[in-house]
């Protein structure tokens, strides 16, 4: 009886293993591939499971904000097209993820291929904003971002895609006519619609402006000033043309420290005062008694 039960269990497990889908195993020779979305010329190198894309020269086009495709702010964007491993089908990619700048995303939810693409044809367009004031001119390539892909959802990085550019080879096109550029302290260039204020900034732009206006320890933020040294009101100052702003901070006065009292705090003085008071009271009492009984 027991033998028959054991045989039945083994047969059931064998059937289930046959029926259940097996995920494709991601190996170094079965990784995704990368192509360019921003034109220009680039060099691609591969080291194991890491693909490095280095743009040697590129002219970046300005694009308005479009949150639906991951472009949360207007600006200059550079992009790569990442194809999923060729042997991975729809079922395999349902749980595939990617990570960039500490944030994770679902490949399947964010992919740009449609659901009928079929095995070997699913892809995702990865975009990174490039701010011209972020990059100091030079011939050395600068890493902008790296994307890490976990294709088979085993909590391990299967493939890394690194994006680099050479700052002195980047050119940017002017934004569309209804926008103006606002450069702040040589650290970031914002684009806003004409006749709008800096309070209209959102997403990454808003965070960068807040960072620029945050003073170091011992200083306070005074304000942003235009090229005519006029103070900019974040809520009221509207921009009808391109502008360059400076940021001003003011050193806080040093706090006045109280003079140091070197006298030991032993309580001796208080005890001495109490003792003298006791002696005085006793003496007074004796004098009164003497007067009373004499």
Q: Which two tokens stand for residue 185?
A: 């302290």
Q: What phi, psi does 67 have (nearest 5°)?
A: -55, -30
The per-residue pLDDT for 247 is: 96
Q: Which domains does the chain have, with CATH numbers?
A: 22-172 (no CATH), 179-251 (2.60.40.4270)
Q: Are 98 and 87 in contact (CB under 8 A)?
A: no
The per-residue pLDDT for 182 is: 93
The per-residue pLDDT for 264 is: 52
Q: What phi, psi does 119 have (nearest 5°)?
A: -55, 130
The whole-number mean pLDDT for each consecutive block of 10 residues of the chain, a chain of 294 residues, reads 54 43 47 88 92 90 79 85 89 92 90 79 89 72 92 93 89 88 89 93 89 94 96 96 95 71 50 48 46 43
Helices assigned H by DSSP within the chain: 2-19, 90-93, 107-110, 203-212, 268-293
List Cβ neighbours of 143 (8 Å cut-off, separation of 6 or more).
162, 163, 164
């Amino acid at each position: 009886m027991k033998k028959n039960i054991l045989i039945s269990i083994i047969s059931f497990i064998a059937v289930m293993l046959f029926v259940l889908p097996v995920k494709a195993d991601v190996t170094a020779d079965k990784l995704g591939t990368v192509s360019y979305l921003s034109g220009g010329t680039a060099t691609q190198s591969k080291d194991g499971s890491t693909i490095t894309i280095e743009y040697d020269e590129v002219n970046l086009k300005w694009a308005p904000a479009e949150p639906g495709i991951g472009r949360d702010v207007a600006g200059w964007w550079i992009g790569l097209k990442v194809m999923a491993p060729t042997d991975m089908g729809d079922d395999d990619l349902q749980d595939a993820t990617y990570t960039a700048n500490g944030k994770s995303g679902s490949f399947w939810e964010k992919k740009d291929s449609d659901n009928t693409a079929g095995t070997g044809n699913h892809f995702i367009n990865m975009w990174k904003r490039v701010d011209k004031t972020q990059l100091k001119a030079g011939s050395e390539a600068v890493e902008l971002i790296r994307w890490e892909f976990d294709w088979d959802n085993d909590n391990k990085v299967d493939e890394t895609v690194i994006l680099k550019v050479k700052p002195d080879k980047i050119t940017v096109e002017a934004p569309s006519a209804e926008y103006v550029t606002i450069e702040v302290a040589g650290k970031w260039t914002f684009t806003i619609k004409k006749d709008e204020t800096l309070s209209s900034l959102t997403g990454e732009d808003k965070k960068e402006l807040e960072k620029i206006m945050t003073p170091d320890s011992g200083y306070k933020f005074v304000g942003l000033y235009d090229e005519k040294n006029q103070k900019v009101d974040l809520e009221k100052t509207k921009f009808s043309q391109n502008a360059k702003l400076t940021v001003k901070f003011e050193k806080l006065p040093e706090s006045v420290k109280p003079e140091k009292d070197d006298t030991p705090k032993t309580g001796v003085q208080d005890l001495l005062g109490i003792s003298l008071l006791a002696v005085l009271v006793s003496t007074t009492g004796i004098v009164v008694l003497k007067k009373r009984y004499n």
